[in-house]
């Protein structure tokens, strides 16, 4: 194909609009995958061309050009083998990471030649998939040799870095270095002492099939930089199979359109260790098709996490075709799903991801009206994504395409705000949202210093109603938090609304990281005990974020009042004034008293 015959990738507006509304189907995902293939080829060729300018950077391995020639030979013989390697998510991670090393002229986690030499691993894996005879030299890292999409060879040498030779022919596949020779099994899905294959999970629901690699080996499977292998046990793999099977059943049953598209966009899951009462997950735009997901035996939360990451994957692919915002890395915006301020690009990703999450919980709520936890999650995330969308819709950093993206999401998301949700889950969702925003304000907003000083002086004079006019609202957050915080109360709410409800809260609630006795009392409905508990915490530490906001929630639960209003809507101002009084006054008032005073003239 000549340069004149090359056809650029583009996304028609009809496809873009369908994608923004959460649709588009598998055809759109395959189009995005084709775009990623071209992008990776360009990055790969750029890395090879850059290395050719300084041949010494490849040593002790051959030039990367050799790997390119092997890939070209396999492309002629078995193009599907090369396509598998190019589609592999961590080919994208490696290409992005190594390109940055080239541009910045830095070493990375390993010596540069090891990172550069991974291209030989990619070419060798393609050749093995094609059944071709070949010889190649590959980098060794911590006694292992990676064959992406296939597995890992364990050479058991004492060298951190080195070179191995791999050959494939009529007598099979042999990997050797100067210490040892290993013959791989004929069936590469068979595990031996020296060969660890990538395991695969395949789930069916009717005629819908999900087949993913459970990749605990590839060195470029991490978010930011290469990481060593972390092999799961056979029992852990079976636990993953079980929960993925249940999650796939939920998705195929409740979100069939998403279930049709998701297998085209999610081909690899990196298993992460379980986190108590949480299911964290992550993905990166460079690793299209991959998600890092912590283990959980909760299939509903796993299904939501898979949808969440699938949304990120799709948006990451679209952003290689469309510009949604200007390049603005400032961490300046509040989002209800993160504890820190976020840049505009991260906010757009979050809106789309949690729009998808809300869609899952909405469908599950419709299918299971008595599922209080599903109702809570739907109420929480429909509101969170909607409020955030409206907050950034007029942001100057959005392009016209970015605003169109939000408009199309809004056509789906807006009607959900009026759909009925059971009273108790809806109330707890509102409490959780208020808790998060108040604590974020307390940790990341700094009140006007002049206002704080005037209020402290007014208190010291005994003024009951300072004549300040409208208090200035702090607008620019700082990414440096003032005080630590774990969102334990929302974890407790999920226990209360989940299976076994109050029993689970009583038995497992004390195990929630960061949960205090006051938190347990608040979520358990013992409001007066919660008020007393937070007051005691503030005697010990008057600046503690969880106690300041917790007291506001507890006071609000027994009726609105000026103290609750100030603690929940201007907590950063209450704490700042109290700190000055604490430093300068002989008899320091408690936080609640200062909050009640400020609450008289603030809203």
pLDDT tens for 210-250 read 999 999 999 999 998 999 999 999 999 999 999 999 999 99
In this prediction, residue 5 carries a pLDDT of 59
Binning pLDDT at 50, 70 and 90, where does residue 541 land? Answer: very high
For the segment 331-335, the average pLDDT, to the nearest whole number, is: 96
For the segment 139-156, the average pLDDT, to the nearest whole number, is: 95
Compute the C-alpha angle 334/357/27, nearest 5°: 115
- CA atoms of 254 and 372, how far apart (whole Å): 17
Cβ neighbors of 399 (< 8 A, separation 6 or more) are 323, 324, 325, 326
In this prediction, residue 105 carries a pLDDT of 83
Q: Are 139 and 177 in contact (CB under 8 A)?
A: no
The region of weakest confidence among 110-119, 465-474, 541-550 is 465-474
With a cut of 50, say whether residue 504 has pLDDT above it: yes
With a cut of 90, say whether residue 107 has pLDDT above it: no
- CA atoms of 595 and 548, how far apart (whole Å): 10
Helices 25-52/112-130 angle, 10° precision: 130
Count the Cβ atoms, other than its own, within 10 Å of residue 147.
Answer: 27
Longest alpha-carbon distance in the chain: 94
- Token output for 247: 């999650």
Count the Cβ atoms, other than its own, within 10 Å of residue 545.
Answer: 23
For the segment 169-191, the average pLDDT, to the nearest whole number, is: 94
Q: Are 465 and 598 in contact (CB under 8 A)?
A: no
pLDDT digits (tens, 9 = 90+) for 354-391: 999 999 999 999 999 999 999 999 999 999 999 999 99
For the segment 95-100, the average pLDDT, to the nearest whole number, is: 96
Handedness of CA 240, 366, 368, 390 (dihedral sign): positive
With a cut of 60, say whether residue 4 has pLDDT above it: no
With a cut of 70, say whether residue 3 has pLDDT above it: no
pTM above 0.85, yes or no: yes
Q: In what order do the strands lie in the sheet with 268-272?
A: 199-205, 208-214, 268-272, 290-294, 281-282
- Token output for 347: 């906010």
Proportion of the chain above pLDDT 70, given as a percent: 99
Q: Is 272 helix (H, G, I), strand (E, B) or coil?
A: strand
Q: Across all residues in the chain, what is the average pLDDT? A: 95
In this prediction, residue 2 carries a pLDDT of 47
Binning pLDDT at 50, 70 and 90, where does residue 464 land? Answer: confident
Provide the pairing of β-strand 199-205 with 208-214: antiparallel
With a cut of 60, say whether residue 1 has pLDDT above it: no
Name the residue with higher pLDDT: 560 or 570: 570
Q: Are 468 and 457 in contact (CB under 8 A)?
A: no
- CA atoms of 11 and 34, how far apart (whole Å): 12
Q: Is the backbone peptide bond immediately before 46 cis, with ω within 30 degrees of 0?
A: no
In this prediction, residue 560 carries a pLDDT of 77
Binning pLDDT at 50, 70 and 90, where does residue 25 land? Answer: very high
């Amino acid at each position: 194909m000549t340069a004149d015959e090359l056809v650029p990738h583009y996304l028609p507006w009809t496809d873009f609009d369908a994608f923004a509304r959460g649709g588009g189907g598998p055809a759109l995902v395959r189009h995005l995958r084709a775009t990623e293939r071209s992008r990776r080829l360009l990055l790969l060729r750029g890395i090879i061309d850059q290395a050719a300018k300084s041949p010494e950077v490849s040593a002790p391995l051959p030039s990367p050009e050799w790997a390119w020639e092997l890939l070209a030979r396999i492309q002629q013989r078995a193009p599907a083998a090369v396509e598998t390697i190019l589609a592999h998510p961590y080919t994208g991670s490696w290409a992005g990471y190594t390109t940055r090393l080239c541009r910045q002229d830095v070493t990375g986690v390993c010596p540069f030649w090891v990172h550069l030499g991974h291209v030989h691993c990619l070419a060798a894996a393609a050749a093995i998939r094609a059944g071709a005879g070949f010889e190649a030299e590959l980098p060794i890292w911590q006694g292992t040799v990676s064959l992406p999409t296939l597995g890992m060879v364990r050479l058991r040498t004492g060298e951190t870095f080195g070179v191995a030779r791999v050959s494939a022919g009529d007598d099979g596949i042999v990997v050797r270095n100067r210490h040892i020779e290993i013959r791989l099994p004929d069936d590469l899905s068979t595990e031996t002492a020296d060969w660890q294959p990538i395991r695969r999970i395949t789930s069916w629901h009717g005629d819908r099939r999900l087949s993913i690699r459970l990749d605990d080996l590839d060195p470029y499977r991490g978010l930011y930089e290469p990481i060593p292998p972390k092999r799961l046990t056979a029992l852990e793999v079976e636990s993953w199979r079980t929960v993925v099977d249940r999650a796939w059943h939920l998705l195929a049953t409740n979100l069939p359109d998403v279930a049709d598209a998701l297998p085209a966009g999610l081909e690899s899951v990196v298993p992460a260790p379980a986190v108590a009462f949480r299911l964290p997950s992550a993905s990166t735009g460079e690793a299209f098709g991959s998600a890092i997901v912590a283990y959980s035996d909760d299939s509903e939360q796993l299904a939501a996490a898979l949808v969440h990451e699938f949304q990120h994957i799709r948006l990451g692919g679209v952003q290689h075709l469309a510009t949604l915002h200007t390049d603005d890395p400032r961490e300046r915006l509040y989002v209800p799903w993160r504890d820190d301020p976020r840049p505009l690009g991260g906010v757009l990703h979050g809106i789309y991801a949690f729009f998808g999450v809300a869609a899952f919980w909405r469908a599950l709520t419709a299918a299971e009206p008595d599922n209080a936890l599903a109702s809570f999650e739907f109420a929480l995330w429909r509101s969170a994504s909607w409020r955030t969308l409206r907050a950034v819709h007029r942001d100057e950093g959005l392009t016209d395409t970015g605003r169109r993206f939000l408009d199309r999401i809004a056509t789906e998301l807006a009607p959900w705000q009026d759909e009925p949700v059971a009273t108790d889950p809806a109330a707890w969702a509102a409490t959780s949202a208020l808790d998060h925003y108040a604590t974020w304000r307390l940790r990341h907003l700094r009140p006007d210093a002049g206002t704080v000083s005037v209020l402290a002086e007014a208190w010291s004079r005994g003024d009951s109603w300072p004549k300040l006019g409208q208090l200035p609202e702090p607008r620019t957050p700082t990414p440096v938090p003032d005080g630590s915080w774990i969102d334990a109360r929302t974890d407790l709410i999920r226990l209360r609304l989940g299976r076994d409800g109050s029993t689970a809260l009583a038995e497992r609630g004390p195990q929630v990281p960061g949960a205090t006795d006051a938190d347990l009392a608040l979520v358990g409905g013992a409001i007066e005990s919660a008020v007393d508990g937070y007051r005691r915490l503030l005697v010990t530490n008057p600046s503690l974020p969880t106690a300041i906001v917790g007291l506001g929630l507890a006071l609000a639960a027994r009726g609105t009042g000026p103290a609750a209003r100030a603690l929940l809507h201007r907590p950063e101002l209450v704490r700042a004034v109290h700190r000055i009084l604490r430093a300068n006054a002989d008899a320091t008032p408690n936080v609640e008293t200062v909050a009640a005073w400020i609450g008289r003239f603030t809203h």
